[in-house]
């Protein structure tokens, strides 16, 4: 189980004891993870505040990261470099799952005329790694590479329900915020997660964004049935046929698992 840590200024984590790590690599990790979803760039002062690392050290490491193309200069600010994105796409687990899921997601988005997203557990977060949508209906869909709210989205609640040891509610509860008037409160969330465990899927009824609802189902590993990630569809509430979406999502998730089995079998052939 992941150890709970002390949140930094943007909700990220400094370390189990709340202090900055002593190693250079640990400090670099803090700098890179200081960027949140809404941050196009951060100043040296903002990076210093969020990481808890000395300003002179942050400045020196940022220069090295710029030289390595992991960061880019944006005037007096810094932004994440494209090299980080390229490296992330090479992660074996993410690459294999995206490869297996991509054609299935495209077909599903076409059939439902709604965005389809693929999200995976990533430490104590949930990361959207791919999105497929028809050009007419992109609104409400998470962007690939974005961290998702755990308590207010369908894939987030599904992950909380299926991985309770990795995502303990006691750690999450203090940081939950109401996204809409329909977002579940901390006292109602345990009952919702129990229902999700029983029914095998999760829904979001305007809990994350007014006017939009979502359904999420798990993608399972072909060998051990382990939870690999969530396949989800978001659509305007007024036009969302949840039973139809759920059936299509379950069929799609099974298709992804089958494709993963084929890929694994191909790779193990002599």
Enter the tokens of residue 20. 């900055």
For the stretch 60-71, pLDDT in tens is: 999 999 999 899
Kindly state whether residue 2 falls inside one of the protein's structural domains: no
Mean pLDDT value of segment 42-53: 94
Residue 75 in this model has a pLDDT that exceeds 80: yes
Taking the C-alpha atoms of residue 108 and residue 252, their distance in angstroms, rounded to an integer, is 7
Domain harbouring 61, CATH code:
1.10.10.10
Q: Are residues 75 and 97 in the same domain?
A: no
Select from 133, 124, 152, 122 the least CA-distant residue to 216: 152
Does residue 11 lie within any of the structural domains?
no
Report the candidate in 228, 211, 208, 210 with the shortest Cα–Cα distance to residue 220.
228
Which has the higher per-residue pLDDT, 216 or 172?
216
The beta strands (E) that lie in the chain are given as: 42-43, 71-74, 77-80, 116-122, 125-132, 202-205, 212-220, 227-236
Token readout for 66 is: 């710029």
* CATH number assigned to the domain comprising residue 227: 3.30.450.40
Structurally, the chain folds into a number of domains equal to 2
Q: What pLDDT score was predicted for residue 5? A: 34
Do 199 and 161 form a contact (C-beta atoms < 8 A)? no
| Residues 141-157, mean pLDDT to the nearest whole number | 82
> Residues 71, 172: one domain?
no
Same domain, 99 and 82: no
Same domain, 212 and 245: yes
Q: Residue 81's pLDDT is what?
A: 87
Do 145 and 122 fall into the same domain?
Answer: yes
Range list of H helices, 151-200: 154-162, 169-172, 189-199
Confidence of residue 147 (pLDDT cuts 50, 70, 90): confident
Give the pLDDT confidence of 239-259 residue by residue, as tens digits. Answer: 899 999 999 999 999 999 999
Average pLDDT over residues 23-52: 89
**Are 146 and 259 part of one and the same domain?**
yes
Predicted TM-score (pTM) of this structure: 0.70
Range of the domain at 150: 91-268
Residues 81 and 159 in one domain: no
Burial of 142 (0-12, 13-18, 19+ CB in 10 A): buried
If asked whether residues 192 and 66 sit together in one domain, one would say no
Tokens of 232: 């989800």
DSSP 70-101: SEEEETTEEEE-HHHHHHHHT-HHHHHHHHHH
The pLDDT tens digits for 10-35 are 333 344 344 567 789 999 999 998 88
In a domain, 59, yes or no: yes
């Amino acid at each position: 189980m992941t150890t709970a840590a002390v949140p930094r200024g943007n909700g990220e984590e400094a370390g189990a004891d709340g202090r900055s790590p002593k190693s250079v690599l640990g400090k670099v990790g803090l700098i890179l993870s200081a960027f949140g979803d809404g941050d196009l760039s951060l100043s040296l002062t903002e990076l210093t505040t969020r990481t808890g690392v000395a300003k002179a050290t942050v400045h020196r490491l940022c220069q090295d990261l710029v030289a390595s193309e992991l960061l880019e200069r944006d005037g007096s600010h810094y932004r994440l470099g494209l090299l980080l994105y390229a490296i992330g796409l090479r992660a074996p687990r993410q690459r294999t799952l995206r490869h297996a899921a991509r054609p299935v997601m495209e077909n599903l988005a076409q059939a439902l005329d709604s965005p389809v997203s693929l999200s995976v557990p990533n430490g104590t977060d949930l990361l959207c790694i791919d999105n497929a949508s028809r050009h007419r209906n992109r609104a409400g869909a998470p962007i690939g590479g974005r961290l998702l709210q755990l308590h207010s989205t369908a894939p987030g609640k599904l992950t909380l329900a299926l991985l309770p040891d990795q995502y303990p509610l006691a750690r999450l509860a203090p940081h939950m915020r109401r996204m809409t008037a329909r977002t579940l409160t901390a006292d109602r969330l345990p009952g919702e997660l129990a229902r999700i465990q029983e029914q095998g899927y999760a829904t979001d009824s305007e809990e994350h964004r007014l006017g939009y609802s979502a359904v999420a189902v798990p993608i399972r590993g072909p060998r051990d049935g382990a939870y690999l990630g969530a396949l989800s569809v978001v659509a305007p509430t007024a036009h969302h046929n949840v039973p139809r979406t759920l059936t299509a999502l379950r069929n799609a998730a099974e298709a992804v698992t089958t494709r993963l089995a084929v890929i694994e079998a191909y790779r193990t052939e002599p």
